[in-house]
Amino acid sequence: MLTIKEIAQIAGVSRGTVDRVINNREGVNPQTAERIRQILDSLNYSPNVAGQSLAARKKSLKFGVILFNGVGFFSSIENGIQRKCQELANYGVTVFQRYINYNDVNGLLKAMEELKEEGVCGIVIPPLADLRVAEQIDQFYESGIKTVTYYCDIEHTKRLAYVGSDNYECGRVIGNVMGLIAPDGVLAIVSGRWTNAIHPERVESCMQKMKQDYPDTRIIADIVCDEDDISAYNAVTKLLVEHPEVNLLLLNDLGSKGALRAVQEAAFPVRVVLHDRISPFRNELKQGMVSVIITQQPWVLGELPLDILFKYFALGVCPSKDCYLTDVDIKVGENIRYDL
């Protein structure tokens, strides 16, 4: 690893300037500081963690994480959180977790207050689009509690960073994959219940991609249903009875296995593409019941926000970016990981 002196030579500044940027101290021109951070990021530079871990343990850092309860997509996020919690425990970091119902603004605000009472210095939240949440993030910032948002974002707040997905890009990848699987197929889309703009954005860009590059693929249905087994089973069964010509099915953010059971019971073969439901469907992917799972790396949404908070409070390293977007991965039976 390069030394601070060598990095200073690359940047054309003094060692002291590089040291101030690394340790998040004032006194450096903002443009110069950003240039140095870009150099550090390109070199994958990090401070001597072994040397600073003792200082981190002495700080007894406390972080908080808020998750949505019972949402299938969040199982992979939680896997990432648990792995990161185990790692941070080696540095004396305590991570408190709170669960709230999906789209429950009051529950989110209450959980944020509970974590504040626990004495956390940083929190990781999936913010809901509500002015009260934005105000809470800003109030936390003023009191010294830094927020990293994930899954969805509230821009123009004093959050430290955002970790999330490019839903437009993901939709185009989904459309391309389905077009390659069945360029002249008959497609139906079944999505979990829409409660924000994320799902329709992805579906819209998917359909745009298919109409553009795979005009022979017919899209005959785009429906929304609840995620429980019975609702998903009934919705997909009804769909396949009414449209026996369907041979390609996209389950978009639909974590229920009831949908797959309906496909298995159909009198004709249907190829299934899933979006971001890795943990519950590993075996189905291995066995070929699911052709492809397209994921926006939900485990990164669990690991990276806590990593950002740790580096900020323990090592004095500011995030190199305001927004961290995950990659779009394509998983088939041969490249599925069992730790996702």
Query: What's the pLDDT tens digit per position in 154-185?
Result: 889 999 999 998 889 999 999 999 999 999 99
User: Of 58-67, 83-92, 189-198, 258-267, which gets the smallest average pLDDT?
Assistant: 189-198
- Mean pLDDT of all residues in the chain? 87
The pLDDT of residue 267: 84
Half-sphere exposure at residue 3, Cβ-oriented, CA atoms within 13 angstroms: 6
Rounded (10°) CA dihedral 235, 236, 237, 242: 90
- CA dist 175 and 173 (Å) reads 5
Tell me the pLDDT tens digit for each residue of 129-162.
889 999 999 999 999 999 999 988 888 999 999 9
Rama region for 30: left / alpha / beta (φ>0; ψ in -120 to 50; rest): alpha
- CA dist 190 and 203 (Å) reads 10
DSSP structure string for 289-310:
SSSEEEE--HHHHHHHHHHHHH
What's the gap between Cα 133 and its chain centre? 19
- CA dist 327 and 297 (Å) reads 6
More confident residue, 338 or 93: 93
Instruction: Report DSSP state, residue 96.
Output: E
Residue 204 has pLDDT above 70, yes or no: yes
Q: pLDDT exceeding 70 applies to what percent of the chain?
A: 90
With beta carbons less than 8 A apart as the criterion, state whether 198 and 167 touch.
yes
Which residue, among 248, 254, 247, has the nearest Cα to 233 in the 3D structure?
254
Q: Give start and end residues of each alpha helix (H) in the chain.
A: 4-11, 15-22, 30-42, 49-59, 74-89, 105-117, 131-142, 167-181, 198-213, 229-242, 258-265, 282-287, 298-315
The pLDDT of residue 297: 86
31: Cβ contacts below 8 Å, ≥ 6 apart: none
Question: Hey, do 54-164+298-327 and 167-295 end up sharing a CATH topology, with the first three levels equal?
Answer: yes
253: its two tokens: 């953010």
What is the pTM for the complete model shown? 0.76
Structural domain boundaries in the chain: 4-42, 54-164+298-327, 167-295
At residue 222, φ and ψ (nearest 5 deg) are: -140, 95
CATH 3.40.50.2300 fits 167-295, yes or no: yes
| Confidence bin at 324 (pLDDT 50/70/90) | very high
Q: How many helices (H) and strands (E) does the chain have?
A: 13, 12
Q: Give the CATH number of domain 54-164+298-327; options: 3.40.50.2300, 3.20.20.150, 3.40.50.300, 3.40.1310.30.
A: 3.40.50.2300
The pLDDT of residue 265: 93
- CA dist 147 and 141 (Å) reads 7
Residue 47 has pLDDT above 90, yes or no: no
What's the gap between Cα 282 and its chain centre? 19
Residue 10 has pLDDT above 80, yes or no: yes
- CA dist 219 and 252 (Å) reads 14
User: Of 31-40, 93-102, 288-297, 302-311, which gets the smallest average pLDDT?
Assistant: 31-40
The pLDDT of residue 8: 85
